[in-house]
A and B are shown apart, each in its own frame.
Chain A
Amino acid sequence: MTTSANVVRKGNILERFRGGTKGRRPFRFNLATMLVIPYVIAVTLFSFGPFVVALVFSFSGFSAGKPELFQAGFKNYIDVFSDPQFREAYWNVIRFSVMATISGFIGSVGIALVLSLTRDRIGTLARSIFFLPGSINGAALALIFIFMLEPTVSPFGFILRALGWEKISDYVKSSNAILLMTVLRFYLTTGGWIAIFYSALESVPIELVEAAKIDGCGPWQLSWHIRRPVIMGFVWFMVIQLIAQNMMIFGEPYIINTALGGTSFISPYWSPNMLGSFYTLRLGNFGMSAVVALSQVLITISSSIFIVTKTGAFTTQLTD
C-alpha cells in the first residue's frame, strides 16, 4: 500500500538526487577532491590495503604456490598460536615493552623536569645533545651497542672489567637479553622525548611559576605540581607510542643476532616481527605471517583507539 508518507519520502530521495533538499549538501563533483585523491589512493593501498590483505590471507591456504582464498579456515591461527616460538616471541616483547616503557617514562619525564628546574644555557645545550641519539638508525645503533658491551674495546670497558667480565660472553646471555635491549631502546628514544618535554616545559607561563613560588613552592614541588601537569598530555601519547614501537621491535635484535652469529644472546625469532619475517621468507607461509601481522595491528589499533577516546587530544580539530 502506498501511503502519502511514502510518496513524500520518495520525493525526498528524488530531491536529494537532484541536490535540492535543504540541510543536506547536494552531491556535486568538487574539483577540490582532486587534492585528496592521491592521498586517498596511497592510504588505501599501503595503509588499509595491507590490513585487508592480512585479513584475507590469514584464512587462506596455498597450493602449488598459489593462494586458495578463504580455504584454510582457522588453520593458520591454530598453527601460529600453537607455535611455542610465537608465544615465546610475545612473552619476550611484552616483558621488554613493560621494562622499556617504564624506564622511558621515568627517564624522559624525570630528566626533562630536572632540566627545567632552572632556565639556562646548560639546559638548552643538554637538550640539543640528548636529541642526537635519535638520529642513529637501528642497524648502526645495534653495532654501537655490541661494541659498548665488548670489554676489550668499550669506553665503559674499565667498569665491565672491574666487575670481572673480560669478554662479552661472560655476562651477555639470553637470560638478560631483555634488560640489554631495554638499555638500547632507552638510549635511542629517551633523548628525543626529553627534548620535546623540555620544550613544552619552557612554555609554562612565568607568572604561574612566580605565583607558586610566592605560595611557598620549592623547586622540586614546582616541577612536580606545576610543570609536570603541563606535559602529561604528551606523556600519555609517548607511553602509547612507546608500547607500540617496542612491540614492533625488529632491527636491533636482528642486527645483533646477525652480528654475533652462533654466540648471539638473541634468537632469530626473538620478536613477533622477526618470527613473522621467518614465516614469510624462510617458510613462504603468507597465511601464518598474516596472522602475526594481524596480532600486531590489533594491539596498535587498540592503542590508537585508547588515545583518541581517552585523551580527547584530537576532539577539537575534528569537531571544527
Chain B
Amino acid sequence: MERTLPNPQGRRGFSAWLKHWMFRTGIDPFTYLIRLAIILIMVIFFVVPLIWLFTATTKTNDQLIHLPPLAIGSLSYIKKAWDYIMMFYYGVAVHWVFNSFYYVIIGLMLSMFTAVPAGFALAVINFRGRKWLLWLTLLVMLVPGDALVLPMYIELFYMKMIDTQWALIIPAASYPIGVYLVFQYYKSALPADVVAAARVDGCSDLQLFWYIGLPLARNIIGVLAFTNFANLWSNFFAANLFIDNTYLKTLPAGISVFISNCSAIIPGPIPCIHSPDGHYIGRAEVALLGVISTLPVLIVFALAQRIVIRGTTAGAIKE
C-alpha cells in the first residue's frame, strides 16, 4: 500500500505563513472571516439597490418582472426610455435637469462668496463682535435647514420670491457650516507668524485676505463645493414647497410631479402618456429619472474622498 509521507516542510511552511499572516493582520482567521462576512452582507445591502436602479433603466416593464432583477436588458432601451420621458409635458425633464444645475451652481457661487471671506475674517482678524458671530454661527449650523423651510416660505412669500428661481438661489447665501469649515481651515492652515509677518510688511486686513487668504482657499473651496453641491442638489423639501411652476422645478422635485401624474409605480387606470407605439410611462422611465438625479452627486462623491483628504491636510507651510 502506498503511503504518502507527511511533509514536515510543508506543514511548517503553512503554520509559519499563518503566524506571519496573523502577525500582519493582527487577528485570527476566524475573526477575519466574521469581518469578511459582515462586510459582504453590508456591501450587498448598500450596493444591490444601486445596481438594480442602473440596470432597471435598460428594461421594459415586462422585462423588469420576467428577467432576473440584476440582469441588463438592452442598452438601447435607455434612449427609448428617455424619448418616452421627453413626451411628458413637452420635454419638461430637460428643464428640471437644467434648473438643478443652474440653481446649484449659482447657489454654490453665492455660498462661497459669503462663507470664504467670513470664515477668514473670523479666523484671522480680531474685530468687534467676532466671538458673538462665531457662537451664533455654531448654533445656526446645528439647526437643520429643513427646520426653517416653513417660516422661510412665509418670508419669501412676502418678499415676492415664491415660485421664482430666486427662492432656491438666494437662501443658499446663508451657509453657516461653510463658514465654520473655512474658519477651522484657516485656523490650522494659516500660521500666526505668517499673518504677523504680513502685518509687519504693512498688509491691511483686506490685503491679507486678498494676497494670502484667497490663494490658500483653493483646498477648502473644494471641500465646500463638494459638501454643498450634494446638499443643494438633494434639497427636496424647499424645492417642492417654494416652486409650484412645473417648468421651474428641480429634478428631485420634478420626479414627484412625474410619478404623481403618471401612475408609473403602481399602474393606475389612466397612464399619463401613450406613445404612438402604445407604450405608457412606467418603472424604467422612473428609474432613469432616478439615475439622472443621482449621477451628479454620485460622481462628486466618488471624486470627493481625495479632495476632502487633500483639503484637510494641506496647509500654508507644507505648500
Q: Is the CB of B255 within 8 A of A43?
A: no
Contacting residues of chain A (249-270) with chain B, CB-CB under 8 angstroms = 250-251, 254-255, 258-261, 263
- B43, B206, B263, B294: the one within 8 Å of A137 (CB): B294
Tell me the complex Cα distance, A182–B298, Å. 23
Q: Is the CB of B128 within 8 A of A40?
A: no
Determine if A245 is an interface residue (Cβ-Cβ < 8 Å): yes
Q: Is the CB of A39 within 8 A of B241?
A: no
Q: Is the CB of B268 within 8 A of A261?
A: yes
> What are the interface flags for A98-132 relative to B under an 8 Å C-beta threshold, 1 for contact and 0 otherwise?
00000000000001001101101011001011111
Tell me the complex Cα distance, A248–B56, Å. 31
Stretch among B6-14, B75-83, B87-95, B146-154 lining the A interface: B146-154
Tell me the complex Cα distance, A259–B262, Å. 9
State whether A129 and B43 are in contact (beta carbons under 8 Å apart), knowing that A38-B173, A140-B252 are contacts in the complex.
Answer: yes
Q: Is the CB of B151 within 8 A of A50?
A: yes
Tell me the complex Cα distance, A51–B149, Å. 10
State whether A144 and B53 are in contact (beta carbons under 8 Å apart), knowing that A131-B301, A154-B69 are contacts in the complex.
Answer: yes
Residue of A nearest to B38 (CB): A114
Tell me the complex Cα distance, A51–B140, Å. 11
Q: Is the CB of A317 within 8 A of B144?
A: no
- A153 partner residues in chain B, CB cutoff 8 A: 56, 64-65, 69, 283
Nearest-CB distance from B106 to chain A (Å)?
14
Nearest-CB distance from A224 to chain B (Å)?
13
Nearest-CB distance from A116 to chain B (Å)?
10
> What are the interface flags for B284-319 relative to A under an 8 Å C-beta threshold, 1 for contact and 0 otherwise?
001101110110011011100100000000000000
Stretch among B119-127, B194-202, B217-225, B271-279 lining the A interface: B119-127
Determine if A193 is an interface residue (Cβ-Cβ < 8 Å): no
Q: How many A-B residue pairs have CB under 8 A?
A: 327
Determine if A22 is an interface residue (Cβ-Cβ < 8 Å): no
Determine if B105 is an interface residue (Cβ-Cβ < 8 Å): no
Q: Is the CB of B148 within 8 A of A260?
A: no
- B43 partner residues in chain A, CB cutoff 8 A: 126, 129-130
Determine if B183 is an interface residue (Cβ-Cβ < 8 Å): yes
- B113 partner residues in chain A, CB cutoff 8 A: 38
Determine if B170 is an interface residue (Cβ-Cβ < 8 Å): yes
Nearest-CB distance from A149 to chain B (Å)?
11
Nearest-CB distance from A47 to chain B (Å)?
5
Q: Show 18 residue pairs from A and B whose CB-CB distance is below 8 angstroms, ordered by the A residue.
A: A31-B205, A35-B206, A42-B114, A50-B152, A132-B47, A134-B301, A139-B255, A140-B294, A143-B290, A153-B69, A248-B146, A251-B240, A261-B260, A273-B150, A300-B143, A308-B138, A314-B138, A318-B138
